[in-house]
Amino acid sequence: MTADEITDAMLDLQLANFRDEALGKYLDQGTPIDVVGAALPAFDRMIAEARARLRPKILSQVMLQQCLDRMDK
């Protein structure tokens, strides 16, 4: 896998877990499902913005780790 693919997979997994946990907490607190559903577009925009900010940082870490792994071989 390329560094880009690894980064995208990591971000997708982490942000999907965050989204599920956060939405689950609202539902567990008794927030009506229609209210949670109405908030989804704004919540998804927030996650997309976070993904855009985090991606360069994670990509550089993945690339560094790949370089270190090659040096160890």
What one-character-per-residue DSSP string does 7-52 give? HHHHHHHHHHHHHHHHHHHHHHTT--HHHHHHHHHHHHHHHHHHHH
Average pLDDT over residues 3-20: 91
Q: Is pLDDT above 80 for 42? A: yes
Band of pLDDT at residue 27, cut at 50, 70 and 90: very high
pLDDT of residue 73: 77
Residue ranges of the domains in the chain? Answer: 3-72
CA gap 43, 20 in Å, rounded: 11
pLDDT of residue 33: 92
Output the six-digit token pair for 15.
């942000």
pLDDT of residue 13: 92
Closest of 55, 68, 10, 35 to residue 1, by C-alpha: 10
pLDDT of residue 1: 82
Q: Is pLDDT above 80 for 39? A: yes
